[in-house]
Amino acid sequence: MAAAPGQRVPVEERLFSLVLALLATDHGLTKNQILSTVQGYRQRYSPHGDNANLERQFERDKDDIRDLGVPLETIESPGQAGNNQSLRYRIPRGEYELPRDISFSAEETALLGLAAMVWREGSLSGESRRAIIKLKALGAKTVEPVLAYTPRVRVREESFEPLSAAIDKHQIVQFGYLKPGEDTARVRTVAPLALIQFQGRWHCTAFEPESGERKTFLLRRIVSQITATGRTRPPTGDDEAELGLQELNAVWADRRAEVRIQPASDADTRLRKLRGATEAPDGTLVLHYVDANILADELAGYGPEVVVLSPAELVTAVEERLRTVADAHALQAGGQDSGGANG
């Protein structure tokens, strides 16, 4: 069902529709074509009006899908170098499809076909097909995507809807918040201001009456129900979501990690595509981040393919995770040896 004009389209649906549209074209789409046709943008697009806010939303969405590992390309139109309005965007199918050396049995192919049918007939299917038809009418050469890639839509945390309702009702709320390294959740009392998706994760920017400060909370670290405790004054009219994003971007720009990666490895392929990743003269990779614990989880997952050089807190966090994994394997191996001896 198409969204009515002015109706808010969920972020996950907008990002999925954007990925679908960019996969469907070989030659790329201009920003104007994207904003006027893709679900989540077209509802707010004005053909002859000011679309500055919508363009900023598109810039943030580009960063989000790149952070999710999607290889988004920017192509300059021939003869129009430097003209940002003529830039075209696409997702090269060859870089996002399954590797050629992966094959499936007849049974697996049948299951994938069934899954593809279910996916195509889902709630996004009609809207996405209408967008592709409209793009074809504009002269864009498109290829209707099939299930050759994995759409990665993040599920919202349980606290999302209660916090969203609290923002609409100008409520003060309480919840338990558990930071990494702490054994007990702390009860936080805040006035939620906006919900923000940053680098594929949901955050809540809020005002804390006790300290008088604005603070940002990662929704996945909220470990209790959201309880309303009172009401507060309506916002002043500022774009709280935009302010929250500016704060997160400032932290992201300020924090840098240096890592050494194994050439031609999975880590090499993926980490170099992260937003803002740059290579230092000595060959190390410089990454930006907001939360050291989240980055440590990712880097530890690459095992020996990554060596963290700085900062010290990140080195320690990755070492702790690798040590935990090593201890768990040693314990499991010890149990198997013991079981074999007693058997």
pLDDT tens track of the chain, all 343 residues? 444 444 567 777 788 888 888 888 878 888 989 998 888 888 888 888 888 888 888 988 888 888 777 788 888 776 666 666 678 998 887 666 655 666 667 676 666 655 555 444 443 444 555 555 455 544 555 554 443 434 444 456 889 989 989 988 899 999 999 988 888 999 999 999 999 888 878 899 999 998 999 999 999 999 999 999 988 876 666 678 888 889 999 999 999 999 999 999 989 988 998 889 999 999 999 999 999 999 999 999 999 999 999 999 999 999 999 998 888 878 776 666 655 544 4
In a domain, residue 167? The reply is yes
Last residue of a domain, one of 252, 282, 300: 252
Same-domain check for residues 247 and 266: no
Same-domain check for residues 27 and 133: yes
Per the DSSP assignment, residues forming a β-bridge with 218 are: 203
Name, in order, each residue with C-beta under 8 angstroms of 135's C-beta and a sequence gap of 6 or more.
21, 24, 25, 29, 33, 37, 142
Among candidates 248, 175, 255, 167, which has minimal Cα distance to 215? Answer: 248
No. of helices (H) and no. of strands (E), the chain: 11, 12
Matching residue, tokens 């808010």: 8
Same-domain check for residues 127 and 167: no
In a domain, residue 153? The reply is no
In a domain, residue 238? The reply is yes
Same-domain check for residues 17 and 127: yes
Q: How far apart are CA 253 and CA 100, in angstroms?
A: 37
- Report the DSSP pairing between strands 213-218 and 278-279: unpaired
Same-domain check for residues 297 and 234: no
Determine contact, residues 9/39, Cβ cutoff 8 Å: yes
In a domain, residue 154? The reply is no
| Dihedral over Cα of 232, 233, 236, 237: its sign | positive
Give the CATH number of the domain where residue 201 resides: 2.30.30.520
In a domain, residue 26? The reply is yes
Strand extents, DSSP E, the chain: 29-30, 73-75, 88-90, 171-177, 186-198, 201-208, 213-218, 227-231, 256-261, 278-279, 285-288, 306-310
Last residue of a domain, one of 252, 277, 299: 252
Last residue of a domain, one of 104, 137, 170: 137
Same-domain check for residues 164 and 231: yes
Q: How far apart are CA 74 and CA 83, in angstroms?
A: 12
Same-domain check for residues 191 and 293: no
In a domain, residue 1? The reply is no
In a domain, residue 227? The reply is yes
Instruction: Count CA atoms within 13 Å of residue 161 on its CB side.
Output: 2
User: Which H or E run includes 64?
Assistant: helix 52-67
**Radius of gyration for the chain, computed over Cα atoms and rounded to the nearest angstrom:** 23
Same-domain check for residues 213 and 190: yes
Same-domain check for residues 19 and 129: yes
- The whole-model pTM stands at 0.57
Same-domain check for residues 113 and 218: no
Provide the residue range defining the domain that includes 168. Answer: 160-252
Give the number of domains in the chain: 3
In a domain, residue 40? The reply is yes
pLDDT 10s digits, 27-63 = 888 898 999 888 888 888 888 888 888 888 898 888 8
Question: CA angle at residue 87 from 81 to 93, to 5 degrees?
Answer: 120
Considering the chain, what is the average pLDDT of its residues? 80
Among candidates 165, 210, 156, 162, which has minimal Cα distance to 187? Answer: 210
Instruction: Count CA atoms within 13 Å of residue 1 on its CB side.
Output: 3
Same-domain check for residues 267 and 240: no
Same-domain check for residues 92 and 15: yes
